[in-house]
Structures are given as C-alpha cells and as structure tokens.
C-alpha cells in the first residue's frame, strides 16, 4: 500500500505548495493575532445612555466616528481573510487536480495489471 502514497507524493506540485505556504501561513497568523488582541487605540464604545436628555450632536458625531473606525477595521480584517481563503482555495484546487490525476493513473494501472494478469494466466494455460 506504500506505492500509491509514493505516487501521490510525486504528482503533487510541491514546488507551488511550498512557494505559497509561507504567505498563507503569515496571513493566517496575522488574522489569528488580530482576533486575539483587540485594537489598543480604539476602546469599545460605551452604550449610549438615553436617560434624561437626548445626546448632543457632538457626542453623536463622536459615536459615529468610532462606529466607522470599527467598521473599517472589520472590513480590513474581512478583506485579508478573503485573500487568505482565496489562496487556500487555490491550493486546494491544485491538490484536487493532482488527486484526480492520481485516480486516473491508478485506474489505468489497474487495467494494465488486469490485462497482464490475464496474459500471464493465458501463457501458463497454453
């Protein structure tokens, strides 16, 4: 059973996989670090207290600026995550194509072995 694994290891485009692996790994680490550590410069806004008086326009403007900054940070994180997923999807596509080639070659090899086995049996019977 070691032969199919050896063939699989030979068919996979390891050069491409190794070439793109550091990029994907760095992007994934950045995303993980960003998810672990909340941004230090943007503290979470406190809930707006609408108790007695309505908030002033200046306070509303500050809240809107904070909300926009949070939205921009989330958009940047989402864009970076989308790029990482695209790179992973590209590598996955290459691996699937390599496995498909392996499957086809294995099927062809099985047919060749079957034909050779029938030929050997025919020679021994003859």
Calpha distance 94→71 (Å, rounded): 34
53 in any annotated domain: no
Please report whether residue 101 resides in a domain. Answer: yes
Identify the domain containing residue 13 by its residue range.
Answer: 2-38+60-125
The number of folded domains in the chain is: 1
Classify residue 49: in a domain, yes or no: no
CB distance 42 to 67 below 8 Å: no
Q: What is the pLDDT of residue 13?
A: 72
- Residue 46: the pLDDT is 64
In a domain, 48, yes or no: no
Distance CA 20, CA 32 (A): 18
Residue 99 belongs to some domain of the structure: yes
Q: Is residue 86 part of a domain?
A: yes
One pLDDT digit (tens) per residue for the chain, 126 residues:
556 766 766 777 767 776 777 777 677 777 767 766 655 565 565 665 666 677 788 988 998 999 999 999 999 988 888 888 877 877 877 887 788 888 899 999 999 999 999 999 999 998
- The per-residue pLDDT for 43 is 59
Structure tokens at 12: 């996979």
Residue 90 lies in a domain: yes
pLDDT the model gives residue 117: 95
Task: Decide if 43 is inside a domain.
Answer: no
């Amino acid at each position: 059973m070691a032969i199919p694994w050896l063939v699989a290891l030979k068919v996979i485009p390891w050069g491409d996989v190794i070439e793109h692996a550091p990029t994907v790994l760095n992007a994934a680490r950045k995303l993980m670090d960003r998810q672990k550590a909340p941004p230090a410069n943007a503290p979470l806004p406190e809930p707006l207290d609408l108790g007695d008086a309505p908030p002033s326009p200046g306070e509303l403007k500050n809240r809107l600026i904070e909300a926009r900054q949070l939205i921009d940070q989330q958009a940047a994180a989402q864009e970076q995550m989308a790029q990482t997923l695209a790179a992973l999807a590209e590598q996955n596509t290459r691996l699937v194509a390599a496995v498909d080639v392996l499957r086809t070659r294995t099927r062809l090899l099985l047919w060749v072995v079957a034909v050779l086995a029938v030929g050997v049996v025919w020679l021994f019977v003859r």
